[in-house]
Amino acid sequence: MTTLVTGATGFLGSHVARQLVARGDTVRVLARPTSDLRTLAGLAVERATGDLRDLPSLERALEGVSCVFHVAADYRLWARHPQEIYESNVTGTRNLLEASRLAGVKRFIYTSTVATIAIPTHGALPNEQTEATLDQMIGDYKRSKFLAEQEALQAVDRGVPVVVASPTTPVGPGDWKPTPTGKIIVDFLNGRIPGYVDTGLNFVPVEDAAAGHLLVGESGRIGERYLLGGENLTLREMLGLLARASGLHPPRLRLPHAVAYAAACANTAFAHLTGHEPSIPIEAVRISRHRMFVDCSRAPRELGFSAGPVAAALDRAVRWYETNGYVAAGRLERLARANAA
């Protein structure tokens, strides 16, 4: 039987697809006609042309499929037309769940996100059992993923065998777009991060987050969700690891959130005029007011999940961005000298 992967042309999804192929699965990937297929280069997969918003195309893609990894998501912290995010993440997920129910799929792994977990409060770190509400979700991306996760969990009652994989913040090679996190790395490498705000995230090597998806598919319990995370790091600590990986200096200026927010407001206003994505989205600054540290102990305990060091993943990311032309030429020379020293 065949495994269908959505989002295989994206960062995390491409790693999931590659690991499924390496395991010996027959893999079919869903891709729009306009999708960038570089992530699939040299990968022995079937390609199904379709769109999550087009139910008939999903029905065709699911023919003969026994397992679905729904990794696709519109991961943007700003959109000129926010409804596009909801159409992809919520309506698209609802469509795929219904098509999978009709197709009799035996396993449906839905890729959610740590963003749907309640923000930390005083006391123990939040985990999969920590309940959140829609009102706690900051911005359209978080709100759309929260709603999509609810669609996935509610589909269990209709007979769809859903298990939820909730990766934290993946880092590593292969982030072609790049994602908002990848953009931080690229901006750092190009000297475009003058300072940092006091915030923090849980980071995980992308290869390990992908391997965690396979474990969720094999051993995860239907109707449950599993955080796939690695290390809780402040932004300053993460930038310090990037500095060591690249030989560049980390920013030393700590920016008050009020200053960052004012800059984001001006930057986003300009983006609405030009249609170009802001370099400092307001949502990113609003989210940064909270350290999104979490307890990721369930997946290691119940599934045997293990995450490698984030420092090594950032080193792989730096080399990949260098090799693929994301770093300005002058910066490349400096990186080369630092690496040769």
Domain ranges for the chain: 2-174+203-230+294-308
What whole-number distance in Å separates Cα of residue 57 and Cα of residue 62?
9
Residue 307 is given by DSSP the state: -
Q: What is the phi-psi region of residue 144: left when phi exceeds 0, alpha when psi lies from -120 to 50, beta otherwise?
A: alpha
**Crossing angle of helices 139-155/92-103, nearest 10°?**
20
Residues of the chain with pLDDT below 70 are 77-78, 120, 257, 259-289, 330, 332-341
pLDDT value at residue 81: 79
pLDDT value at residue 338: 60
What whole-number distance in Å separates Cα of residue 185 and Cα of residue 283?
18
Q: What is the average pLDDT value for the chain, to the nearest integer?
A: 90
Task: List Cβ neighbours of 24 (8 Å cut-off, separation of 6 or more).
Answer: none
What whole-number distance in Å separates Cα of residue 206 and Cα of residue 170?
5
pLDDT value at residue 305: 98
What whole-number distance in Å separates Cα of residue 135 and Cα of residue 222?
26
- Residues linked to residue 292 through DSSP beta bridges, in sequence order: 201
The verdict on domain 2-174+203-230+294-308 having CATH code 1.10.10.10 is no
Residue type, 29: V
Nearest Cα neighbor of 227 from 301, 309, 286, 310 is 301
Q: What is the phi-psi region of residue 165: left when phi exceeds 0, alpha when psi lies from -120 to 50, beta otherwise?
A: beta
